[in-house]
């Protein structure tokens, strides 16, 4: 769940966030190469990113695990759509590099024997407002 100070973002908000950045990485976030979902690099200082919102809708108690891939992509595809109402985006938070504002999405993947933090760069061209 989100606290009251974290804005809930929709597709239009994500597009604006992504379009507000030039697309170039700075020295602070340049080591994050995540066109698709990637594991957060172990040595990356997470304090270099600041949370700017969440895609978690507080009124949705059990968000869907359904993914959105109408063009045959898959979860790890660099060109997979970013659909906020679908998994894993419906369990993500939006972050920016504190230095240059480069936007990212982050979520934690829970497997049977592991927990892994994932990160993906936010690209406006991939954001879609699809509903389950």
DSSP 45-113: -GGGEEEEEE---TT-SS-------TTS--TT-TT--B-TTSTTGGG-EEEEETTT--EEEEEEEE-SS
Residue 85 neighbours by CB distance under 10 Å: 20
104 and 119 Cβ atoms separated by less than 8 Å: yes
Closest CA to 130 of 74, 70, 78: 70
Do the domain assignments include residue 4? no
Rounded CA-CA distance 115/108 in Å is: 7
Do the domain assignments include residue 5? no
Amino acid 114: pLDDT = 86
pLDDT over 90, % of the chain: 86
Q: What is the mean pLDDT of the chain?
A: 93
Do the domain assignments include residue 18? yes
pTM: 0.92
Do the domain assignments include residue 102? yes
Domain count, the chain: 1
Amino acid 112: pLDDT = 82
| 68-120 pLDDT per residue, tens | 999 999 989 999 999 999 999 999 999 999 999 999 999 999 888 889 999 99
Do the domain assignments include residue 94? yes
């Amino acid at each position: 769940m989100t606290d009251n100070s974290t804005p809930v973002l929709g597709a239009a908000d994500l597009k604006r966030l992504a379009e507000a950045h030039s697309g170039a990485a700075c020295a602070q976030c340049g080591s994050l190469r995540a066109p698709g979902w990637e594991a957060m690099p172990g040595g990356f200082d997470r304090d270099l990113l600041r949370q700017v919102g969440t895609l978690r809708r507080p009124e949705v108690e059990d968000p869907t695990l359904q993914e959105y891939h109408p063009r045959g992509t898959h979860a790890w595809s660099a060109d997979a759509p970013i659909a906020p109402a679908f998994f894993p985006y419906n369990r993500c938070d939006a972050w920016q590099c504190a230095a240059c504002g480069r936007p990212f999405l982050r979520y934690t993947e829970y497997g049977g024997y592991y927990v892994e933090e994932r990160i993906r760069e936010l690209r406006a061209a991939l954001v879609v407002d699809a509903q389950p």
